[in-house]
């Protein structure tokens, strides 16, 4: 599985309640390292976050299901000349795991990943953060949009207030409750015993919505001894890891891991 020459493309996979603009720093970093990078949008989420918020709660985004989001990436990857690397954050980490199961990629990185079906831990902050997104007592015809207070608690905890507000303004977007609920369905099932391409889990030590214990439990479910499955917990990272002041250090860690997979192939 050599990565060079030439290096595989990288496809960045966006999480829920944000737009693909969340990858701007990482995309620029990896392009500077010689990778060709892509960050496809989820269905109906091509506009800037502020415009998408104006469409809430009656946004076309409400129509999306997990299968629609997954299809964006499977079809995009199918058009590439070779299998790519995939790097996903949060719900995008779940998509990474599903793509590895399809043997569609050469390596995957799941950052603060939403878990596949059946991976659970007892954690109050997780429940408090995720339960509103499911919209259990609201219509699936409307979208969920985190309030700024919810954003502060679940996603940007520990960041300076100015950064919390900046990231909310730049990134926060309405989300389909159908998509979020899809993580609890058979569509999100992973066969942990199957061989798979190298997979790295990155957990944030201060993450409330996808806590490190959940990421660790996700990692430990993989059981194919001949497949590479690595785990790193990064202290002090909240769920907004991609935009924290440590983002360059974290991207460099991922780049070193990808290089190690290439040289050991």
Eight-class DSSP state of 20: G
Contact (CB, 8 A) for 252 and 200: no
As to burial, measured by CB atoms within 10 angstroms (0-12 exposed, 13-18 middle, 19+ buried), residue 187 is middle
- Torsion, Cα 238 241 244 245, to 10 degrees, reads 110
Q: Which domains does the chain have, with CATH numbers?
A: 10-264 (3.40.50.1820)
Q: Above 80 in pLDDT, residue 87?
A: yes
Work out the mean pLDDT of the chain and round it to a whole number.
96
> Could you count the other beta carbons within 10 Å of the beta carbon of residue 239?
24
Q: Which parts of 155-210 fold into alpha helices (H)?
A: 161-171, 177-182
pLDDT number for residue 264? 80
Q: How far apart are CA 244 and CA 255, in angstroms?
A: 17
Q: What is the percent of the chain with per-residue pLDDT over 70, rounded to a whole number?
A: 98
Give CA 116 to chain center in angstroms: 12
Q: How far apart are CA 239 and CA 111, in angstroms?
A: 9
Q: How far apart are CA 215 and CA 212, in angstroms?
A: 5
Buried b (16+ CB within 10 A) or exposed e, 94-114: bbbbbbbbeebbbbbbbbbbb
pLDDT number for residue 3? 55
Q: Can you tell me the mean pLDDT for 15-41?
A: 98
pLDDT number for residue 263? 84
The token pair at 55 is 């469409």
Q: Which parts of the chain fold into alpha helices (H)?
A: 24-32, 49-55, 66-78, 91-101, 124-134, 148-154, 161-171, 177-182, 212-220, 247-264
3-state secondary structure of 237: coil
Q: Above 80 in pLDDT, residue 41?
A: yes
The tens digit of pLDDT for each residue in 124-167 reads 999 999 999 999 999 999 999 999 999 999 999 999 999 999 99
Q: Against a cut of 0.85, is the pTM above it?
A: yes
Contact (CB, 8 A) for 106 and 1: yes
pLDDT number for residue 1? 41
The tens digit of pLDDT for each residue in 193-222 reads 999 999 999 999 999 999 999 999 999 999
Q: Above 70 in pLDDT, residue 233?
A: yes
Contact (CB, 8 A) for 201 and 115: no
Q: Can you tell me the mean pLDDT for 166-182?
A: 98
Q: Above 60 in pLDDT, residue 4?
A: no
The tens digit of pLDDT for each residue in 177-201 reads 999 999 999 999 999 999 999 999 9
Contact (CB, 8 A) for 94 and 190: no
């Amino acid at each position: 599985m050599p990565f060079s020459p030439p290096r595989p493309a990288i496809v960045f996979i966006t999480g829920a309640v944000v737009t693909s603009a969340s990858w701007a720093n990482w995309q620029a970093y990896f392009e500077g390292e010689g990778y060709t990078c892509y960050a496809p949008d989820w269905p109906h989420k091509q506009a800037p976050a502020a415009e998408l918020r104006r469409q809430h709660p009656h946004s076309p985004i409400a129509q999306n299901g997990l299968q629609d989001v997954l299809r964006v990436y499977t079809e995009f990857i199918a058009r590439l000349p070779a299998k790519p690397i995939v790097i996903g954050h949060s719900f995008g980490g779940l998509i990474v795991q599903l793509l590895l199961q399809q043997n569609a990629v050469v390596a995957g990185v799941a950052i603060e990943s939403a878990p596949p079906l059946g991976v659970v831990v007892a954690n109050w902050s997780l429940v408090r953060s995720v339960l509103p997104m499911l919209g259990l007592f609201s219509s699936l015809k409307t979208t969920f949009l985190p309030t700024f207070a919810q954003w502060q608690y679940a996603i940007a905890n520990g960041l300076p207030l100015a950064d919390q507000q900046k990231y909310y303004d730049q990134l926060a977007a309405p989300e389909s409750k159908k998509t979020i609920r899809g993580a609890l369905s058979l569509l999100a099932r992973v066969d942990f015993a199957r061989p798979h391409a190298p997979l790295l889990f990155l957990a944030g030590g201060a993450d409330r919505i996808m806590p490190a214990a959940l990421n660790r439990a996700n990692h430990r479910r993989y059981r194919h001894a001949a497949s590479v499955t690595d785990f790193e917990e990064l202290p002090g990272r909240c769920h907004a890891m991609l935009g924290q002041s440590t983002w360059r250090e974290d991207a460099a860690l991922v780049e070193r891991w990808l290089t190690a997979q290439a040289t050991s192939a």
